[in-house]
Structure 1
Amino acid sequence: MKTEPIAHPLSPQDCLVALMIAMSASDEQMRTAELMKIQNQVNHLPIFASYDIDRMQQMAQTVFDLFSEEDGLDALFGLIRDNLPEHLYETGYALACDVAAADGLIPEPELRLLEEIRYELDIDRLHAAAIERGARARHLSA
């Protein structure tokens, strides 16, 4: 079943959700821990306080549709750069890192997508390392 295309421009929150969904879908295995992390972030972080939770399904379908196209990843980054304010780029990277770390596994496709996000959003390497280290520390198990 195909959903209706997004009728209006993406909100910054839509972009953040799209990054998280893309991270989870990047290895073609959306694990429960990753989906729970996305839901948790949307339910609890201040950036999502006014976000319409019903848009999550639309964003997921948009990401899946883009991933099925040849240049879909480029199109996704184009949408994100066009609609996510630059001051939220590191937030987007941090959320993607948290999703990647949520299940304790970061397979090669997820590592490549993190690298691509760093490049596309022009995340400084030192800042990226700090964000990655924080995600790792938050998701360690005993």
Structure 2
Amino acid sequence: MIEDAPMTAQDALVALMIAVSASDENIRTAELVKMSNAINHLPIFAGYDQERLPRMSRMVFDLLEQEDGLEALFGLIRDALPERLFETAYALSCDVAAADGKIAGAEARMLQEIREELELDRLHAAAIERGARARHMTL
């Protein structure tokens, strides 16, 4: 892979999932499993080159360490992601955040940032959040 290759829509989705997982500075196994399952099984990731994952991870971690890194990350994501995939991006983000059974603190703030950056309708976002919560309930 060429290191300077532009971010693809699939990369943008992966980067958002990584950012949500890293937002609380504690990437949990359940979140890694959720990301892996999404990349391996969802149609949106058909043909995705998983060799790009380390590059996306490095980029996200490097950006999150910078003062205005989150804004830069969102800029890259908006440039790479077609608007028709904004709800998909938010759904994947919610699933990663809910994977460990709770969404609070930094993860909740990150989801709010994503909602605002992608300019998602509040009602649509609430439905997506409710679906993620329902899928990740435990007994």
TM-score normalised per structure 2:
0.97
Of 121, 128, 133, the residue aligned with 1:124 is: 121
Deviations 1:12-60 (A, max 9, x none): 0000000000000000000000011000000000010110011111101
CA distance in 2, matches of 1:107, 1:36: 19
Matches within 5 A, 1:23-38: 23-38=20-35
Secondary structure of the residue aligned to 1:134 is helix
Structure 2 unmatched ranges of 5 or more: none
Question: % of aligned pairs identical?
Answer: 66
Is the counterpart of residue 47 in structure 1 residue 44 in structure 2?
yes
Is the counterpart of residue 74 in structure 1 residue 80 in structure 2?
no
CA distance in 2, matches of 1:127, 1:6: 36
Instruction: Write the letter of the residue equivalent to 2:82.
Output: P
What's the RMSD between the two structures over aligned residues?
Answer: 1.3
Deviations 1:47-96 (A, max 9, x none): 10110011111101100000111000000000001110000000000000
CA distance in 2, matches of 1:56, 1:140: 28
Tell whether the 8 Å contact from 1:27 to 1:107 is kept in structure 2 after alignment: no
CA distance in 1, matches of 2:50, 2:114: 24
CA distance in 2, matches of 1:27, 1:105: 12
Structure 1 unmatched ranges of 5 or more: none
Tell whether the 8 Å contact from 1:42 to 1:48 is kept in structure 2 after alignment: yes
The structure 1 segments of at least 4 consecutive aligned residues displaced by more than 2 Å after TM superposition are none
Alignment coverage as a number of residue pairs: 139
Matches within 5 A, 1:56-67: 56-67=53-64
CA distance in 1, matches of 2:5, 2:51: 14
TM-score normalised per structure 1:
0.95
